[in-house]
Structure 1
Amino acid sequence: MAIIFLESKDNAKIKHLRGLIELNSARKKHQQTVLEGTHLCLAWLQQQKKIFSLFTTEQALENPELQQVFKLHQGHIFVISEVLYKDLSTLGTTLPCLAIIDLPQNPVQIDFTQDTLILENVQDPGNVGTLLRSAAAANIKQIICTQGSASLWSPRVLRAGMGAHFSLVCFENIQLKDILPQFKIPVFVTSSHRSTSLYSKDLTQACVWILGNEGQGASNYALEHAEAVAIPQPGGQESLNVAIAGSICFFEMVRQRQ
């Protein structure tokens, strides 16, 4: 393991790092993304997965948390200035730790018989990451995103997911009409405008959850080709945040299966 100091913001490695942080097109082109923070890096490395490049600052080199990352990381450590790190970071005040990783290669085929979460045009990275974290906790292993949803492997979604990605099989840019007819299990879609209560459904067997856009909700196609359920809200609010709604659905499913 070598420690290499990089001083110029125009260094090719810094430009590559910045592109992966800021541009979905760069992540697609290079099939790489960026983990930020020691928690994500340790979660990745503890699964015997490799970090391509690791970046930190000189002041952070002796930090005990970062030392744990160094013990598992087999490659070089690139040291940059505090000013440059703050310019690159999406977290603000945190222990300096940025890691470039190769995107996982998932199976080509979707499994149409297992518990699945479908995100239909869910755009907020925080909501997407939170939903993945809740899905993983509820033992939903397959995630499908339609076009228009936030990029699952963007640094912001990864941060919100807190490592949930690493135990999931994820598919992106999928058309609902191409997959819904193929599921051999019940498909539910959440809608605050439907009267059928979530709690009246039998969720003891494998099923699919469709969660729609934060503002517009699920599409007409989803509502026409899935069973719409609502979460009772005796307090009278118009709707719930999509990540909260999804989490309630997942853990009602878990409760019924206990």
Structure 2
Amino acid sequence: MATIFLESKDNPKIKHLRGLIEQNTYRKKQGQTVLEGTHLCLAWLHESKKINSIFTTERALEHPDFESILAKYTGAVFVISESLYKDLSTLGTTLACLAIIDLPSSSQALQFDQDTLILENVQDPGNVGTLLRSAAAAGIDQIVCTKGSASLWSPRVLRAGMGAHFSLHTFENIELESILERFEIPVYVTSSHRSASLYSKDLRKACVWILGNEGQGVSDYALAHAEAVTIPQPGGQESLNVAIAGSVCFFEMVRQRV
């Protein structure tokens, strides 16, 4: 393992790292993204995936969690100051570890007879990452995102997903109109206004879930081409957070199947 100390924030490697952290267009152009924190890095390495380079601090290098990473990684480790790391980090409180990886490319075509989660213009990275985590836990491994949704492989979405990405087949920037009528299984949307109870549906067979924008919900097109379901709320709240609503739906599906 080569340990290289970098001091200047204007170093080309630091500029490259910052671009990947902050700019979606730069990530797409470079075909790379950043994993932040030792948990994500270890999960990535556990899948026998390659890390291109790691950035950390002297203090973090001595931590047992970092030693676990170095046991599986043989590339260069770039050591930067604590202040520079805090300036780059989106977390701020975890063990210093930023790893550059290549953006994965899907090796599988979209399957129209499998459990699928479609995110339609879901914009908050935390919500997107949480939904991927819940979907993976519920056994849904095909994820479709329409244009306008948060980038699945942004550092913030990756952080919220806690490694769920690594076992999923993901498709981004998909036009809903180009795929929805091709599904051979029931398609459900969540809606609090005109729909039947989630608990009245038979979810024992494969199905599609469409979850919409945090403020606007799903589109008229989605409502017209899917069955709308609502989650009963005896407490009288107007709606649930989209990540909570999706998780409730996924695990009602699991309950019925188990």
TM class by shorter-chain length?
over 0.9
Deviations 1:53-86 (A, max 9, x none): 1000012111111111111112110000111000
Number of paired residues? 258
Q: Tell me if 1:221 matches 2:233.
A: no
Aligned residues of 2:17 and 2:100 also touching (Cα < 8 A)? yes
Q: Tell me if 1:134 matches 2:101.
A: no
Whole-angstrom distance in 2 between the partners of 1:143 and 1:125: 15
Q: Secondary structure at the match of 2:33?
A: strand
Letter of the 2:81 counterpart? S
Whole-angstrom distance in 2 between the partners of 1:122 and 1:46: 29
Deviations 1:179-207 (A, max 9, x none): 00110000000001124000000100000
Letter of the 1:31 counterpart? G
Q: Secondary structure at the match of 1:170?
A: strand
Following superposition, the deviation at residue 105 of structure 1 comes to 1.2
Q: Secondary structure at the match of 2:144?
A: strand
Following superposition, the deviation at residue 108 of structure 1 comes to 5.5
User: Which residue is 1:206 aligned to?
Assistant: 206
Alpha-carbon RMSD across the aligned residues, in angstroms, is 0.7
Gaps of 5+ in 1: none
Letter of the 2:17 counterpart? L
Q: TM-score, normalised by structure 1?
A: 0.99
Following superposition, the deviation at residue 107 of structure 1 comes to 2.7
User: Which residue is 1:47 aligned to?
Assistant: 47
Whole-angstrom distance in 2 between the partners of 1:60 and 1:231: 45
Mean Cα deviation higher: 57-66 or 171-180: 57-66
Structure 2 matches for 1:2-151, cutoff 5 A?
A: 2-107=2-107, 109-151=109-151
Q: Secondary structure at the match of 1:72?
A: coil
Q: Secondary structure at the match of 2:179?
A: helix
Q: Secondary structure at the match of 2:126?
A: helix
Deviations 1:104-149 (A, max 9, x none): 1103521111000000000000000000000000000000000000
User: Which residue is 2:168 aligned to?
Assistant: 168
User: Which residue is 1:239 aligned to?
Assistant: 239
Q: TM-score, normalised by structure 2?
A: 0.99
Q: Secondary structure at the match of 1:114?
A: coil
Whole-angstrom distance in 2 between the partners of 1:54 and 1:36: 10
Letter of the 1:5 counterpart? F
Aligned residues of 2:108 and 2:169 also touching (Cα < 8 A)? no
Letter of the 2:203 counterpart? L
Whole-angstrom distance in 2 between the partners of 1:147 and 1:11: 34
Whole-angstrom distance in 1 between the partners of 2:105 and 2:195: 41
Whole-angstrom distance in 1 between the partners of 2:89 and 2:50: 21
Letter of the 1:88 counterpart? L
Letter of the 2:235 counterpart? G
Identity %: 78
